Amino acid sequence: MMMIHAVSRRRFLAGSSLLLASGAMLKFGFAQSAPQRGGQLIVAADSEPRNLNPAIVASNGVFFIASKVVEPLAEASFEGPDGLAPRLAVSWSGADDGLSATFKLREGVTWHDGAPFTSQDVAFSAMNLWKPLQNLGRTIFKDLEAVDTPDDLTAVFRFSQPTPFQLIRNALPAVTSVVPKHIYEEGDIASNPANLQPVGTGPFKFAEHRPGEYYRLVRNDAYWADDLPQLDEIIYRVLADRAAAAGALEAEEIQLAAFSMVPLADLARIDQVDDIEIKPEGYEALTYQLVVEINHRRRELADLRVRQAIAHAIDTDFVVKTIFLGYASPATGPVPSNDPQFYTPDVPTYPFDVARANTLLDEAGYKRDANGTRFSLKLLPAPYFNETRQFGAYLRQALASVGIDAEIVNNDAAAHQKAVYTDHAFDLAVAPPVYRGDPAISTTILVQSDLPAGVPFSNQGGYSNPEMDALIAKAATTLDPGERVALYKQFQAMVKADLPLINVAEWGFITVARSSVQNIGNTPRWAVSNWADTWINT
């Protein structure tokens, strides 16, 4: 009876969902077959970066706007070989000795001011911006010696030390935004007006910025890809208040809010609204991790058993379900599980176990006093996201359950960075580091020792492990991709065994958009890609 009931129920559900699916398919199929040209896309923006030059500031806040104007050599892709799709470069290869990399560039590309794009621009950008000025390029191109330009469409990067081509390739989308030499060659690069009014080769031209109101980008009619872009205009409406984004979407004042501008807690409600859709796709190569940074200068925290106890005291399941409302997954280590090349689940784990945590702390010699407290420490949650602050509040409770009294110190973004990464005035901190497709780009720096104070998002907790440093150094100069991957798998296991920091969860962002906006989330870095094929179904 039960069985029959269940079957009939399932059949009913299957039938109804098939019906729904076919309707959606019809609509989708129609949409796919006939992209419409023209129209204006209005997007919510939550910040106005002080510098819009992605060749200097490679950050998501800058890319969100500038990636439509300034293009990299290659962009991340779901289908392309090595997860890449060509942009300003059409092909690339690395020498076997790791001392050079050759890029063939696209023909017939012009800058927005009409000047032709050549290998000179690539060489100039690499030597004068990416290597000396860019936050990420400084590390990746530290051994870049020169860029040869045998002809207008070939650029050969020469390195003084063997540099893994796999790393260069993985870094292409984020670090290789090419800017025009003829605009930047005179005067101080950092104060060039094009840093605020970017000139590029991309599908959209920068038109204007009204501070506090909007950015306007217009269609580049001379774009190298025929018939693209689809849109005539993109407007970024500045909505400083994140809570306003949901309302603006419902009122059709904006058509798209990316980077989880609509708070996670509001998604369930807004999903019920007709003609508004929630898209978690398009952030696969922009995975953030929720991490507990540890100051190893504190005697208690220098003890591995105490760090293990803290890891055991955190209920990852609660963090994922309650703080992230399911829009996240538990982190097993410093490389997120959606990374196709380096990830390994084969690492030590610390399941949620308060009793085990208490035993470890007892063994470490930190007994509870009359108030049930073993020791006190300062906890600094990063203020960048709601979730990092909420996790701070949760962590305080989780620590209290094992007898550690944590005092929360709240700071604004600037004060938080100074306190953690310059002054080291913390015991524990909550940080959201980004994983950028290769552990050598922005991940190994989180545990490597001997970094100068003041480098943001790096190991400033005083952790120093010669074995770890040796492994990182070896991987950085290993050229064979297979061997490199094996070394980084070893790295993940070592991080989890020694706990220089605790990786708790990983998450991508959510885009919320009107149903009329098409081709959302079709690349792994969609929110910070060029949106050339985005169109509006009227």
Partner 1 sequence: MSLAQRISRAPEAIAGITILICLMLVALSAPLLFPGDPLAISGTPLLRPFVDATHWLGTDRLGRDVLAGVVHGARTSLLVGLVSAAAAIVLGSVVGTLAGFAGGLLDELLMRVTDAFQTVPGFLMALAFVSTIGPSLMVVVTAIALASWTAPARLVRAEVLSIRERDYVASARAIGMHPLKIAFREILPNALPPVLGLSAIIVAGAILTEAALSFLGLGDPNRVTWGGMIAEGRAVLRSAPFLSIIPGVALVLTVLGVYLAGEGLVEATSRRSRA
* Cβ pair 36, 230 in contact under 8 A: yes
Q: 161 or 397: whose CB is closer to partner 1?
A: 397
Q: Is 409 an interacting residue with respect to partner 1 (CB under 8 A)? A: yes
Q: Which whole-number Å values give the CA distances from 137 to 106, 324, 442, in the listed order?
A: 22, 32, 11
* DSSP 8-state symbol, 532: T
Residues 429-488 that bind partner 1 (CB under 8 A): none
Partner residues linked to 216 by β-bridges: 208, 235
Residues 238-297 that bind partner 1 (CB under 8 A): 243, 246, 263, 265-266, 268-269
Q: 2 or 251: whose CB is closer to partner 1?
A: 251
188, 221, 412, 450: which one binds partner 1 (CB under 8 A)? 412
Q: How far is the CB of 22 from partner 1 (least distance, A)?
A: 32
Taken as a whole, the chain contains a residue count of 538
Q: 369 or 480: whose CB is closer to partner 1?
A: 369
Residues 96-155 that bind partner 1 (CB under 8 A): none
CB contact burial 385-396 (16+ within 10 A = b; e otherwise): bebbbbbbebbb
Q: 186 or 412: whose CB is closer to partner 1?
A: 412
Q: 246 or 446: whose CB is closer to partner 1?
A: 246
Q: How far is the CB of 213 from partner 1 (least distance, A)?
A: 23
Stretch that binds partner 1, among 253-261, 290-298, 408-416, 465-473 (CB under 8 A): 408-416
Stretch that binds partner 1, among 129-137, 409-417, 448-456, 523-531 (CB under 8 A): 409-417
Q: 2 or 265: whose CB is closer to partner 1?
A: 265
Q: Which residue in 405, 406, 430, 403 sits closest to 419, CA to CA?
A: 430
Q: 398 or 446: whose CB is closer to partner 1?
A: 398
Q: How far is the CB of 402 from partner 1 (least distance, A)?
A: 14
Q: How far is the CB of 242 from partner 1 (least distance, A)?
A: 8
Q: Is 376 an interacting residue with respect to partner 1 (CB under 8 A)? A: no
Q: Beta-carbon neighbour count of residue 359 at 10 Å?
A: 15
Q: 20 or 243: whose CB is closer to partner 1?
A: 243
Residues 378-407 that bind partner 1 (CB under 8 A): 383, 386, 390, 392-394, 396-397, 400, 407
Alpha helices in 458-501 (DSSP H): 466-477, 481-498
Detail the DSSP E strand segments found in 23-73: 40-45
- Any residues with CB less than 8 A from the CB of 459 and at least 6 apart, and which? 445, 446, 447, 448, 449, 451, 500
408, 455, 486, 493: which one binds partner 1 (CB under 8 A)? 408
**HSE-up of 218 (CA within 13 Å, CB side)?**
7
Q: How far is the CB of 537 from partner 1 (least distance, A)?
A: 27
Judged by CB under 8 A, the number of residues near partner 1 is 26
Partner residues linked to 84 by β-bridges: 76
Instruction: Map tokens 């609660």 to a residue.
Output: 318
Which string of x and - marks every residue 198-237 that binds partner 1 (by CB under 8 A)? ----------------------------------------
Q: 152 or 266: whose CB is closer to partner 1?
A: 266
Q: Is 410 an interacting residue with respect to partner 1 (CB under 8 A)? A: yes
Q: Is 180 an interacting residue with respect to partner 1 (CB under 8 A)? A: no
Q: How far is the CB of 81 from partner 1 (least distance, A)?
A: 42
Calpha distance 387→384 (Å, rounded): 9
Q: Is 428 an interacting residue with respect to partner 1 (CB under 8 A)? A: no
Partner residues linked to 151 by β-bridges: 154
322, 349, 373, 515: which one binds partner 1 (CB under 8 A)? 322
* Cβ pair 279, 80 in contact under 8 A: no
Q: How far is the CB of 350 from partner 1 (least distance, A)?
A: 20
Q: How far is the CB of 391 from partner 1 (least distance, A)?
A: 10
Q: How far is the CB of 297 from partner 1 (least distance, A)?
A: 21
Calpha distance 460→431 (Å, rounded): 12
Q: How far is the CB of 265 from partner 1 (least distance, A)?
A: 4
Q: Which whole-number Å values give the CA distances from 109 to 90, 127, 163, 226, in the listed order?
A: 12, 21, 29, 12
* Cβ pair 255, 277 in contact under 8 A: no
95, 415, 455, 486: which one binds partner 1 (CB under 8 A)? 415
- Any residues with CB less than 8 A from the CB of 314 and at least 6 apart, and which? 292, 352, 395, 398, 502, 504
Calpha distance 2→524 (Å, rounded): 44
Q: 137 or 383: whose CB is closer to partner 1?
A: 383
Q: How far is the CB of 76 from partner 1 (least distance, A)?
A: 31
CB contact burial 436-475 (16+ within 10 A = b; e otherwise): bbbbbbbbbbbbbbeeeeeeebbbbbebebeebeebbeeb
- Residues in contact with partner 1 by CB under 8 A are 243, 246, 263, 265-266, 268-269, 318, 322-323, 383, 386, 390, 392-394, 396-397, 400, 407-412, 415
